[in-house]
Amino acid sequence: MFGYIQPYIPYLYFKDGVLYKALYCGLCKSIGGCCGQRARFSLSFDMTFFSALLHNIKNRDVKIENRHCVLHPIVRRPIAEDDEITQTIACLNVALAYYKLSDDVEDEHKGRLARAFFRKGFCRAREKHPEAVRIVQERTAQLRALEKENCDSPDVAADPFASMIAELSDYCLGEYATEHTRTLCYGIGKWVYLSDALDDYDRDLKKKNHNPFLAAYPAPSRKEMLETHRENVDILFAAIFSQNADSLKNIRFYYNHDLTDNIILRGMPAATRRILCGCKDKMNLGKMRIS
């Protein structure tokens, strides 16, 4: 996806940092096994979060063992063992990355080589999970249609992506899916889309790409847009955070959920503040030394 869903390091317990890194490395290995070694370059922090979330809701314990990997052939590191949930998420990771690259090709007429690089991995993901890929394809097409119409409502523009994440959560959770898990994942998907749009305001203005915030609040720059419309933007994100918090209270978790609470309740608002202040450093996990 986009790499915005990350833990908030100052309030991250050591045990949760170990779990997160193990899930990250486990997902990387699973992508290689399911979709080929090239596809591992598509590894996303966003999907690592979903791995933690889905394992907990589905009552699947994460087993961690110290193993070697390609990047760390000498020193063993904690890596989550592969399982059905991780394999499904691995395929979704590759499919979402492929369609994100396809979107770049449509918007900026570049990235064809990168998309071709992941083509084989995408085909393997589609073969294993055709229904999930169909969801991604259909929702991406709806999103593209709204962009071509120059949709000037951030809420409306974000709906296809948010609905895609909600439907994919239903697909992965199966019998464990509820109204509250769907609402939570819808809110997370909406937040990801709007965060990316707000972050790309100036770039999209320069390249003349569609951006829901640019269409709704045209201005010479994001800074000037926020000077006039900051309250509207704050209300939009505050509504998402409030709904996510309410959904969390009604979801049954089988294990300790400090990690996902940290990401949803602290990491996401922190990322929004970073974007609003114009900070460029999206990556706040350097101190965790994931790779």
**What pLDDT shows up at residue 280?**
63
144 pLDDT exceeds 50? yes
In tens, the pLDDT along 267-285 reads 999 999 999 998 765 544 4
Average pLDDT of the residues in 246-261: 96
Residue in 93, 98, 103 with CA at minimum distance from that of residue 33: 93
How far separated are the first and last CA of the chain, in Å rounded? 19
Q: How far is CA 219 from the centre of its chain?
A: 28
**What pLDDT shows up at residue 184?**
98
Residue in 38, 51, 72, 69 with CA at minimum distance from that of residue 1: 51
Average pLDDT of the residues in 50-79: 89
**What pLDDT shows up at residue 285?**
47
Average pLDDT of the residues in 253-269: 96
Distance, CA of 229 to CA of 221 (rounded, Å): 12
Quick one: angle between helices 84-108 and 119-128, nearest 10? 130
Instruction: Please answer whether residues 213 and 197 qualify as being in contact, where contact means their C-beta atoms are separated by less than 8 angstroms.
Output: yes
60 pLDDT exceeds 70? yes
**What pLDDT shows up at residue 114?**
84
Q: Which long-range contacts (CB under 8 A, 24 or more apart) does 113-122 make?
A: 117/38, 117/41, 118/38, 118/39, 118/41, 118/42, 118/94, 120/35, 120/36, 120/38, 120/39, 121/31, 121/35, 121/36, 121/38, 121/39, 121/42, 121/94, 122/35, 122/39, 122/94, 122/95, 122/98
In tens, the pLDDT along 40-59 reads 989 989 999 999 999 999 99
In tens, the pLDDT along 181-238 reads 999 999 999 999 999 999 999 999 999 999 999 999 999 999 999 999 999 999 999 9
